[in-house]
Amino acid sequence: MKVLVVAGARPNFMKVAPILRALETAGHEAILVHTGQHYDTAMSDTFFKELGIKTPDYHLGVGTASHAVQTARIMEAFEPVFTKVHPQWLVVVGDVNSTVATALVASKLRTETHGHIAHVEAGLRSNDWRMPEEINRVLTDRLADLLLTPSEDAAPNLTAEGIPASKIVFVGNVMIDTLMLQLPVARAANTLERLGLRRRHYVAATLHRPSNVDDPIALAAVLEGLALVADSLPVVLPLHPRTLKNIERFHLGPMLTPLTILEPLGYTEMLALTDGAQCVLTDSGGIQEETTALGVPCVTLREQTERPVTITQGTNRMAPWPLTPRGILDTYLDSVAAVAQATPPRPAGWDGHASERIVKALEDKRPLKHY
Ligand code: UD1
């Protein structure tokens, strides 16, 4: 079976790593395309090295641009690659611009190439159409022939949109495959020592959603909330490039003084930071899942989450919206107190074997027509 796998941005890399490995183990031909949506060492190269991802067979080098331009560039560059490779399956992961752009190219070429599209992480919904990721998720699910869901709450979202149940396969969370493989490596590395931190004696934070960082008032409120938390324990904030740019643009640099600021971390160091934290404050999707898998308390700095399983069966809770410094502090205090009492078991399918189930689903639903 010939499978073309796409990766474009940081949250994709930990998802494609186990899929590529499982495809290879099962004797299938895997071709990797990197769109270049994320391009620098900290946001891309480090992950390839640490996670043992093969050098991409094709690198589209699209880089940063407006949504329309970035999406269009990916489509233009991907079309000839897709036609040339002529795979039976296109596998796309997550909800970034690279996901929807490549799925759209493949779907338009369907009658010519007979290639089929599988979406890994299908069925998550925030129901917030202001988020670019929500648009990407919904459209990709609509285009896909095979919808591979990460948690049991995802399929009802798809059937409610009219997607036939026959296209949906529950495979579990592939990001947890990577987490389980890398956790011993992360624990053996001396990350906390190097950063001068003691296990459970610091709070980790991440921030990059446009809703939090593209508006000066919203960004100032979150930074003030983190400063309130930092009155109790050090707050460590690896800064996403988008956030750093906006802090400079809005002249909010002095608000970083109470915080411990780091460059973006690689996978292993970020995992070590998350695993050792007393609590994590974040607007990331993936970190809500990672904290749930690790049993670390998490406060989500968003209006809603597309990953409700991390609340119903995990360690996550939402800070009240709109975010206020006091609301962030109070939710942090509640969260730490609640999770100290009991660590819930991991959600179904978060067991380190999702990539094998993904390959099995591709084999089972192998397109019959292929020329
Ligand atoms: C993208 C994804 C988001 C994901 C996030 C993880 C979409 C719509 N958004 O958002 O879902 O959670 O990645 O990081 O696909 N930059 C660098 N180096 C890089 C890449 C980007 O410095 O390697 C800078 C860019 O110049 C830009 C900023 O980071 O100013 C934001 O990058 P962009 O790719 O536009 O979106 P993200 O906010 O990273």
Of 267, 285, 211, 261, which is closest to residue 43 (Cα–Cα)?
267
Atom of ligand 1 nearest to the CA of 95: 11
Atom of ligand 1 nearest to the CA of 37: 34
CB atoms near residue 111 (< 10 Å) = 7
Give distance in angstroms: CA of 298 to centre of ligand 1. 23
Q: In what order do the strands lie in the sheet with 168-170?
A: 58-59, 29-34, 2-7, 89-93, 116-120, 146-149, 168-170
- Domain covering 2-172+351-364 in this structure, CATH number: 3.40.50.2000
Q: Is the pLDDT of residue 339 over 70?
A: no
Ligand 1, atom 18: nearest CA belongs to which residue? 40
pTM as predicted: 0.97
Of 102, 96, 64, 63, which is closest to residue 81 (Cα–Cα)?
102
Q: Is the pLDDT of residue 370 over 50?
A: no
Please report which confidence band the pLDDT of residue 338 belongs to, taking 50, 70 and 90 as the band edges: confident
Write the pLDDT tens digit of every residue in 258-309. 999 999 999 999 999 999 999 999 999 999 999 999 999 999 999 999 999 9
Determine the average pLDDT of the residues in 233-253: 98
Q: Are 289 and 176 in contact (CB under 8 A)?
A: yes
Over the Cα atoms of the chain, what is R_g?
Answer: 20
Write the pLDDT tens digit of every residue in 298-330. 999 999 999 999 999 999 999 999 999 999 999
Instruction: Specify the fold of 181-341.
Output: Rossmann fold (3.40.50)
User: What is the H or E stretch that residue 105 is in?
Assistant: helix 97-108
**Domain 181-341 in the same topology as domain 2-172+351-364:** yes
Ligand 1, atom 30: nearest CA belongs to which residue? 242
Q: Which residues are catalytic?
A: 208
Lining ligand 1 with CB less than 6 A are: 9-11, 37-40, 43-44, 64, 95-97, 132-133, 208, 241-242, 245
Give distance in angstroms: CA of 317 to centre of ligand 1. 25
Domain extent listing, the chain: 2-172+351-364, 181-341
**Predicted local distance difference test score (pLDDT) of residue 345:** 86
Beta-carbon-side half-sphere exposure of residue 60 (alpha carbons within 13 Å):
30
At residue 213's C-alpha, the angle toward residues 212 and 219, to 5°, is 75
